[in-house]
Every structure is written in structure tokens, then in C-alpha cells.
């Protein structure tokens, strides 16, 4: 450990499988950990303190006096020369706006795709996952606060241009590249270039996002994005204001935008005791999802563990998660999961038509039971998702 940041190491195949088989309760603090499988000279990645480069951003408007307005997220930060926006990773340099985290991730892993969590994207496959420092929200329950609530000046970062990201994904037999751990739209320029190169190699580009992004940048991102897992953190503006420092309406707009653009979408709702666990609020959320997005959108009700600024709260009772799942199913949602409770029946995927077990899960141990080419083997019902890789492994 150094300055609270995990140092890089190499994980061999046996250790990786062991990790995947273990029950994941909560993502660990990420720092600058690299879990890469295949030994190679290319693994000689050097950590350096502070950001390593910058790239002009197209997502801003010039204002009088060399000020700029960031157009990336709904905050619309107005930034003076030499200053940064709320996320801490975008800076006004003499009237031009720059990303300070392009090609400079501080967290790099090879993860099971189920960790994102994607349950309807290439089950049991590997996802090359990365993040930079920074975030555009300030969630009091953030599990990766060491990197999300800091600046790239203060993290240990890798120099990893998009070409190197795709190379590592190929070498480690990853069928997707995930932008995750912090809010990935803050490094959208990096994501866009990675996504374009990933398409050329037949690798999926996915993200786990808070959905707090403006429609214009989202449009650009959807051109290279195959899947999005969106945190719908609660279903009231009060919750978003008090616990995240953001707002709900833009997240709902993002979810509708992803549907319009036919990007595969899954939803995560971290259920926090006494904060967003009211059954009627969950019912209203599920009704909105069914009405605006459709009944087939997978939703994950995930167990909260006390972290960051909410350490005084207890973990979510399993009964609360089971009640949320029953509520969602009663409201007509067809694929409803429970997360961070290994062994729960809510981990499995079942056919909404005939009830057959399609995918069986225990933590990261995943077995395809009755799913074949995206259909239920028993009744032939089409199951929404991405079931075939553009790049066979």
C-alpha cells in the first residue's frame, strides 16, 4: 500500500478463477490495481503520481473573458482560466477546455462481466475494466470514493493510450472493454477513442454509469457503445439532492435516450436502509421503467454495505431486497435480480414465459442451463441481451 492506493500486481489464471468463484459482497477499494492474466513484456506498466497528459475536449462553449461552459453533464460548469469543473478532471487552459485524464487510468482490472453487473451480456466472459480519477456526483455511499472523490493529480496513474487498452483486452481474451468504477463519462474522449478501436477488433464497449450526462455527449457515445449499466440510485429528487449532489431527471432522460438508440441497458438500484427502500417508491420506479423502457429491462436490487459517509447505517436486510424483487415482478418487470447476496435465488435468470432456469449463478460462478443462441431452450422465447460475441474467443 502507498498513500491508500493499492499497488500493481499480476494475477495468474488460477488466482483469477479463484477470485471469480468467490462471492463478491462489495467491490473493493480500487486504487491502482492491475489484474492482468497473460504474462507479457507489455505488462511492464509504470505507475506515476499525477496526471500524465491532456487532450482538448469538444464538449464546451466559449464564454466572454476566456471563460468556458462545460457541456458534458447537467451541471454546466462555468470555468475560469486555470480552473476546473466540478469533476476535477477538466480544466480551462486559456479559453480552451481540456481533459486531464485521457489515456491515464488509475484502476485497471480484468473482471467477470457479471461484476459490472451485466447479466445479459456474454455470460461468464471477461471484461477489461478501467477508470480514471474523478466523478461528477458526490455520493455519500460511494464504494470507490478513494478514486472517485479525488483528482488525477493525487492518484497513481498509468500511461495507457486507447491502442494499449485494446491490445490488453485482446491478449487477455476479454470480449468487452468496460469503463466503470467511477463515472466514466468524465473521461468520454478516452471512451470514444477506445470504442472506435474496439469495434475494429470485434470487442464490445460497455460502461457502468450514473447516467448524469447531457444528451449531446450521450449521442456521440452511443455511436460506439454496445451496453450500459445505469445506476438509478433512487426515485426522488430529494434523495439525489441529499445523497448524491445531483438530480434524478437527467438520469431518467439518459435511460430513455439509451432505449431510443437501441443500446442494451441494465439498471442497478443500490437499496439503502431508510434512504431509498420505501416499497411504494420502489413500486413507482418499477412502473416508470415498465412504461418508459419496457418490461424486459433487467434491474438489479443490490445490497448496501456501510461505506464512506454512511458507515453508521446497517447493511440492507436480505428481506428488504426480496421485497423489492417481489414488487418489481408484481409490476410486470421480467428480469429482476438481487445483487451482493451470493446464493440468493435472485441471482438466476429464468424464462418469463415458461419459468425454465436459463442461467444459474453463485457469485461469479456462472452456468448456462437452458439458454441457447439467445432463446429459452424449453419454449423458444427470445431473451433480450447480447449473447454472441463479435469476436469469437
The predicted-structure confidence for 331-386, as pLDDT tens digits, reads as follows 999 999 999 999 999 999 999 999 999 999 999 999 999 999 999 999 999 999 99
**Does position 142 have pLDDT exceeding 80, yes or no?**
yes
**Does position 36 have pLDDT exceeding 50, yes or no?**
no
The predicted-structure confidence for 99-140, as pLDDT tens digits, reads as follows 999 999 999 999 999 999 999 999 999 999 999 999 999 999
**Does position 37 have pLDDT exceeding 60, yes or no?**
no
The predicted-structure confidence for 40-49, as pLDDT tens digits, reads as follows 333 446 788 8
User: Residue 249: its pLDDT value, please?
Assistant: 98
Positive or negative, the Cα torsion across 327, 328, 334, 338? negative
Q: Which of 48, 81, 72 is nearest to 157 (CA)?
A: 48
Longest dimension (CA), the chain: 66
- For residue 76, what are the CA distances in angstroms to 29, 156, 281? 29, 28, 29
Residue 325 CA to chain centroid, in angstroms?
Answer: 21
Per the DSSP assignment, residues forming a β-bridge with 350 are 357
The single-letter DSSP state of residue 252 is H
How far apart are alpha carbons 82 and 363 in whole angstroms?
Answer: 46
User: Residue 393: its pLDDT value, please?
Assistant: 60
- For residue 85, what are the CA distances in angstroms to 67, 68, 71, 131, 210? 12, 10, 11, 18, 18
pLDDT band (50, 70, 90) for residue 19 = very low
User: Residue 391: its pLDDT value, please?
Assistant: 73
Collapsing DSSP to helix, strand or coil, 279 comes out as helix
State the CB neighbour count (10 A cutoff) for residue 41: 5
State the CB neighbour count (10 A cutoff) for residue 348: 17
> What is the spatial order of strands in the sheet that 78-79 belongs to?
60-62, 68-70, 78-79
Q: What's the N-to-C CA distance of the chain in angstroms?
A: 35
Positive or negative, the Cα torsion across 170, 208, 219, 55? negative
Q: Are 104 and 94 contacting, i.e. CB atoms less than 8 angstroms apart?
A: no
Q: Are 183 and 370 contacting, i.e. CB atoms less than 8 angstroms apart?
A: no
Q: What are phi and psi of 103, to 5 degrees?
A: 75, 15
The single-letter DSSP state of residue 317 is P
Residue 106 CA to chain centroid, in angstroms?
Answer: 16
The single-letter DSSP state of residue 224 is T
Q: What are phi and psi of 40, to 5 degrees?
A: -165, 150
Amino acid at each position: 500500500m502507498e498513500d491508500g492506493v493499492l499497488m500493481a500486481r499480476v494475477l495468474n489464471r488460477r488466482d483469477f478463477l479463484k477470485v471469480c468463484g468467490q462471492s463478491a459482497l462489495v467491490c473493493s477499494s480500487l486504487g491502482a490495481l492491475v489484474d492482468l492474466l497473460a504474462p507479457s513484456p507489455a505488462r511492464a506498466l509504470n505507475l506515476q503520481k499525477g496526471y500524465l497528459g491532456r487532450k482538448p475536449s469538444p464538449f464546451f462553449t466559449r464564454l466572454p473573458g476566456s471563460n468556458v461552459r462545460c457541456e458534458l453533464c447537467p451541471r454546466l460548469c462555468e470555468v475560469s482560466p486555470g480552473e476546473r469543473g466540478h469533476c476535477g478532471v477538466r480544466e480551462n487552459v486559456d479559453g480552451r477546455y481540456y481533459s486531464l485524464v485521457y489515456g491515464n487510468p488509475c484502476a485497471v482490472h480484468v473482471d467477470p462481466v457479471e461484476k459490472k453487473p451485466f447479466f445479459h451480456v456474454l455470460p461468464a466472459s471477461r471484461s477489461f475494466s478501467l477508470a480514471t480519477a474523478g466523478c461528477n456526483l458526490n455520493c455519500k455511499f460511494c464504494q470507490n470514493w478513494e478514486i472517485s472523490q479525488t483528482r488525477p493529480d493525487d492518484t497513481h496513474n498509468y500511461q495507457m493510450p486507447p491502442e494499449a487498452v485494446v491490445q490488453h483486452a485482446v491478449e487477455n481474451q476479454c470480449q468487452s472493454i468496460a469503463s466503470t468504477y467511477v463515472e466514466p463519462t468524465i473521461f468520454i474522449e478516452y471512451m470514444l477513442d477506445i470504442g472506435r478501436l474496439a469495434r475494429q477488433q470485434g470487442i464490445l464497449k460497455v460502461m457502468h454509469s450514473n447516467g448524469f450526462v447531457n444528451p449531446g455527449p450521450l449521442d456521440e457515445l452511443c455511436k460506439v457503445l454496445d451496453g450500459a449499466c445505469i445506476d438509478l440510485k433512487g426515485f426522488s429528487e430529494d434523495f439525489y439532492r441529499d445523497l448524491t449532489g445531483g438530480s434524478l431527471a437527467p438520469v431518467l432522460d439518459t435511460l430513455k435516450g439509451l432505449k431510443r438508440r437501441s443500446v442494451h441497458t441494465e439498471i442497478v438500484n443500490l437499496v439503502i436502509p431508510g434512504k431509498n427502500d420505501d416499497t411504494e417508491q420502489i413500486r413507482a420506479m418499477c412502473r416508470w421503467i415498465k412504461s418508459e423502457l419496457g418490461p424486459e429491462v433487467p434491474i438489479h436490487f443490490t445490497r448496501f454495505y456501510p461505506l464512506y459517509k454512511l458507515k453508521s447505517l446497517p447493511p440492507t436486510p436480505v428481506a428488504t431486497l426480496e421485497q423489492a424483487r417481489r414488487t418489481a415482478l408484481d409490476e410486470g418487470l421480467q428480469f429482476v435480480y438481487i445483487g451482493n447476496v451470493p446464493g440468493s435465488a435472485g441471482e438466476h435468470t429464468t424464462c418469463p414465459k415458461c419459468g425454465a432456469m436459463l442461467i444459474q449463478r453463485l457469485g461469479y460462478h456462472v452456468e448456462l442451463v437452458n439458454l441457447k443462441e439467445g432463446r429459452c431452450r424449453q419454449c423458444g422465447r427470445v431473451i433480450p441481451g447480447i449473447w454472441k460475441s463479435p469476436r469469437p474467443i
